[in-house]
Chains A and B, each alone.
Chain A
C-alpha cells in the first residue's frame, strides 16, 4: 500500500501521502487543521478577497480519502474551522459533501484553539478521544506517550529536494499530523516548538506522490560538507 508505517506503542498506524492518518485497528481516519472558512474570515476583517474555493478544495480531497479508506470513524483533529463562524460560511455544496461523508460512520470534531466549542454541523464534539490506547488531541502535551496531535502545521524541505512539503513528524511515541486545509501555511519540522517535542531519533514523513520518510536532524547537526550545486565559489 502506498503509505508509510509509523506505529505508536506497537499499535500500527499508516501515514498516507495525502496527509491523513489511518489507524487500521480502529478503522479510523484522522485529519488535522482543515481551517474551513478561512477566506471568509479574512474578507470579514476587511482584508483581501481570496479565492473562495478552499472549503470545496479541502473537503473534496478529504472525500477522496474517505472513499479510499472506507473508515468507520473519522477524527478531525481540531482547527477544523478557522473560527467559530467558520461553519456558517459553508455553502450548500460543501454542506452536502460533508453530510455525504458523515453518513453511516462516527464523525468526531476534536476542539482546537481556533474552534474551541461546538459547531453548527453534525458530529460529536470532544476535547480528546482514545482508540486502542492511543490519544487524539489538538495540541501535543509535554511528556505524553501514544499521542496523536496537529496544531503545528509541520513542513520540511529536504536538501536537493526542492520546496518544502507538508509532513508528519513521528518518533514511535507520538505523532504530529500535517495541516490538511488548502489555505494553511507551515512551520519547519526542525523549528524548536516542534523539534523539542520529539526524541533524538525522530522522522518526518513527507506528503506528496508517495510518502517519504526522512530522519529529522536538526540544523546544528546537519553535515555542512555536502556539495552544493551552482553556488560554489569560482575564482574565474
Chain B
C-alpha cells in the first residue's frame, strides 16, 4: 500500500482529516490502466480522482500535460479548478492547473496549445476540438492520466460516445494512458466500466461507503393536488414553509417552463421576501453565474432549478432537496437527493411534491423503488454511427489517416467494440462522398485518398468541421432581451417565438414580459407589471417515466387497497375499479365512452410519454383506415386518449403487431418527430452544418429546412446511411418505438375492451392535459380552409 507522501499527510493532518478508504485505494491502485470509482456526492470523490496526479506531479519533474479532467458541465470544470487550487497552494506544489471550455478566451486557448498546463480541465466538446488540431500529437504527448467526472451522466448519451472515441485517439497519441471514471450510484456499474475501459482491457470497480440512508418523503397537503398539469401551484405555501425551516433548499423541476411558472408563483406568495433564485439552461450565462455566486456565498435560501443543477457542483450548505413533479426516473431522483448535505455522514433529506393526482401514485412508487435501491436503466444500443461519422471528420482535420488503423482504434471503444468493417466503411464513404447510390460527387468529395491515406480535399473544410463539433442538439433558440437594451434575458425556442403575437405576455427569468417583436433574430420584449402571464409555457422536453417505474405503478394497482396513498387518491382508484378496471401489466386496457357528444377511446399502455405519443399517431392512422375518422389525441406517460367521429367497436385489429410495424415504417417517412430525429443525426454526422463561416451574413432565405433533405433522400435514396441511422434512433428517444414493442410483448396483445356510459375516473385527467395533437389528413385541410375563410370574413373582405 502506498503511504501518503509527506506534504500530503501533513496537509491532511493540519486539516484534521482522515484519508477515506476509497481515496487510499485509488492511490494504491493508481498504476492500473482503468479504475471506476462509485461514490456518493460529498464522498471526496474528486480528490480521490486527483490525488494520484497531485502525488505524481509533486516533485515538479513532469513537463507538459499530465492529467486531463473531463466533466459534462463547463461550470463543473471551473468549480474543480477552484477546489483543487486550495490543496495545491497550501502544500506549495509546483502544479499548473487550467480549464478550457467554450467560454475560454481565444488567446488563452492558443497559449494552452503551445504550452499545455500539467492539469487541464475541460468538456467532451472542447476535447474533441483539441484532438482535431494538427498539433494534437504534441499537445497530448506526455499525457498520463485522464479523469472523467460524473461519467454516469455522460455514459448513456452521444456526448459520452464522442468522449470515448476521443479517448481512443488519445490512447494512440499517448500510449499507456490511464483512465479513471468517477460516478454517482448507478444501477449497473459494469456497463459504465465497459464503456470506460479500452477494449479488451479490464476495468477495476471501486465502491465507496454509500453513507447513511437518505430521508425521503412525499409532501401531503390539506389541499388536494389538481387532476392534471405539472405546475404544483397548490403546494406553494407548503414549499415556502419548508424553505423557512431549512438553511438552503434546492427545488428541482423536470422542465424549464415548470421551473419558471413555479418561481413566479413562489415570489407572488413570498411575503417574507426570502432570498430565492432561479437557475436553468435557458437563462443567460451572466444570470446563471450571478445565481451560482450568490449560492456559494450562502446568500440564497432556495434555488428553483432544473437538470442544470443535477451534477456535482458543490453548493455547500444545501440541507433540503424538493422535487416538484414525479421524478419519472428513480436514478435521477437518487442523484438529486444526493445534492443535499454534502457532508459525508449526514443523511440527505428530500421531499417529493406530486404535481397532480396521478403523480401521487408515481411518487409513492418512486419512494418504494428508492428505498429498495431499485434503480432503472435502459439497455444501451450499439455505438451511434452519426457520432462515428463526426469522429472520422475530426480525425481528417488533424491530418491524413489510414482507414484500417482508425477502424482498429475505434473498435477499442466499448460501444463500438462490435462494429463491423463494412459498417465503418459505410461511415467513411458517407464522410468522403456523401454515400449516395444514384449519383456521386466525382470531383467534389469531402475526403480523398492520397497514397493510401485519407485526407480533406479542401483544407478550408477543416474550419467548417471544427465549427460544427459536438453532439448536443440545441434546438434553434432565439435570444430574448428588453427593447433598447443589449443585456440578454435568456433564450426561447424558435418554434415558441413563432407562436407569439405582439402584446402576448410570457415568463422568462421569473419575470412577466410583453412580446414586442422580432429584430435581427432577437426576441424583443418590454417589462410588464402583470401578475399572470398570458402564455406561460415555452417548450422543453418532458422526461418519459421509466420502464421500471411504470412496472412498479402497475404492481401497485394490483393491491386490494392503498393505505400508503392519501384518501382522495384511494377513492379515485377505487372508483376506477368499480366503474371500469385498473390497468394490468399483462393486458392492454382499452376504454370506450362518449364524452361531450363524441366517442372517446382511452388506451392504457404505460409505455412512457414518447411511446404513448407514437402509439397515438399509429392508432389514429389505423382508425382512419378502419373508418372511425379520428379527430385527434392526447398522451401522458401512462395513457393515450383518442376522439373520433365513429366509436371503435373492436380494438383488437388495431393492435395487430405486424400491422402496427408496417404502419410504423410508412409513418416514419412522413412524420414530424422522425424529421426531427433525422435533423439531429444529420447534424451530428455533418450533413447539416449548423454554423458556417458565412452564416452570420446570410439570412433565413439561404437556409432551407432539413425536412426537404429528409423528403428528398426518402424519395431517391431510401436506403441511405442517414435514413438507416434515423430508423435506428427512432426505436429510442422521441419516437421510442422500442417501448411499444415492450408493451406488445408484455401484454401478448391481450386487450380488455371496457365500454362505459361516461368518462372513467382514470381517463378524466387526460381531458385536461395540454398538447393535443389534431389528426392530420383530409380533415385537417378542411380545417385550414375554414380558418382561411374566417380570416377573410374577419378582415371584412369577400372570399
How close is B185's CB to chain A, nearest CB, in angstroms? Answer: 33
Q: How far is the CA of A159 from the CA of B709 in the complex (A)?
A: 25
Number of contacting residues on B, CB 8 A? Answer: 74
Q: In the complex the two chains form, is A187's CB within 8 Å of B715's CB?
A: no
Q: Which of B12-20, B169-177, B573-581, B686-694 contacts A (4 or more CB under 8 A)?
A: B686-694
Whether the Cβ atoms of B533 and A233 lie closer than 8 Å is: yes
Residue A49 lies at the interface, judged by CB distance under 8 Å to chain B: yes
Which residues of chain B (228-279) have a CB below 8 Å from chain A?
A: 229, 231-234
Q: Check A236 against B438 for contact (C-beta < 8 Å).
A: no
Stretch of B49-57, B213-221, B791-799 on the interface side: B791-799
Q: A185-B704, A215-B797 are in contact. Are A49 and B533 (CB under 8 A)?
A: no
Chain B residues with CB under 8 Å of A45's CB are 458, 460
Say if the beta carbon of A222 comes within 8 Å of chain B.
yes
- How far is B699's CA from A52's CA once the two chains are assembled, in angstroms? 23
- Residue B226, interface by CB 8 Å: yes
0/1 string, B773-799, CB within 8 A of A gives 1: 000100011011101100110110101
Please tell me the size bucket of the interface on A: 35 or more
- Give CA–CA (A64, B686) in the complex, Å: 33
- Name the one of A182, A214, A233 contacting B536, with C-beta atoms under 8 angstroms: A233
Contact of A235 among B231, B713, B770, B780 (CB under 8 A): B231
Contact A50 to B231, CB < 8 A, known contacts A185-B700, A187-B700:
no
CB distance from B182 to the nearest CB of A (A): 37
Q: Is the CB of A222 within 8 A of B771?
A: no
Contact present for B441 and A52 (CB under 8 Å): yes
Report B727 CB to chain A, min CB distance, Å: 17
B716 on interface, CB distance cutoff 8 Å: yes
**Residue on A nearest B461 in the bound complex, by CB:** A46
| Any B CB within 8 A of the CB of A54 | yes
Interface residues of A in 192-223 (CB under 8 A from B): 201, 208-210, 212-215, 217, 219-220, 222-223
Inter-chain contact B704/A184, CB cutoff 8 Å: yes
Quote the shortest CB–CB distance from B796 to chain A (angstroms): 9
Q: Is A120 an interface residue (CB 8 A)?
A: no
| B332 lies within 8 A of chain A by Cβ | no
Give chain A residues whose Cβ lies under 8 Å from the Cβ of B434: 43, 49-52
Tell me whether B587 is interfacial, beta carbon within 8 Å. no
Q: Closest Cβ of chain B: how far from A45's Cβ, in Å? A: 8
B439 and A224 contact, CB distance less than 8 A: no
Q: In the assembled complex, which residues on chain B have CB atoms less than 8 Å from the CB atom of A233?
A: 532-536
B649 beta carbon closer than 8 Å to chain A:
no
Which residues of chain B have C-beta atoms less than 8 A from A44's C-beta?
A: 443-444
Q: Which of B89-97, B311-319, B497-505, B606-614 contacts A (4 or more CB under 8 A)?
A: B497-505
A217-B446 CB under 8 A given contacts A158-B787, A224-B503: no
- Which of A157, A228, A233 has the largest number of chain B CB atoms within 10 A? A233
Given the complex of chains A and B, what is the CA–CA distance between A161 and B597 in angstroms? 25
Evaluate whether A40 and B444 lie within 8 angstroms (CB atoms) in the complex, with A185-B705, A224-B502 already known: yes
Question: Quick check: B692 and A53 within 8 Å, CB to CB?
Answer: no
Query: What 0/1 readout, one digit per residue, does chain B (425-442) give for beta carbons within 8 Å of chain A?
Result: 000000001101011110
Chain A residue at minimal CB-CB distance from B797: A215
Q: Which residues of A contact B (CB under 8 A)?
A: 40, 43-54, 56-57, 91, 152-153, 157-162, 182-187, 201, 208-210, 212-215, 217, 219-220, 222-224, 226, 228-236
Q: Can you give 5 contacting A-B residue pairs, CB < 8 Å?
A: A49-B433, A49-B687, A186-B700, A187-B701, A236-B233
A219-B517, A236-B229 given; name 5 further pairs at CB < 8 Å: A49-B687, A213-B788, A214-B788, A214-B792, A223-B501
Kindly list the 8 A-B residue pairs having the minimum CB-CB distance in the complex, ordered from nearest. A49-B434, A46-B458, A46-B461, A43-B444, A185-B704, A236-B233, A53-B716, A224-B503
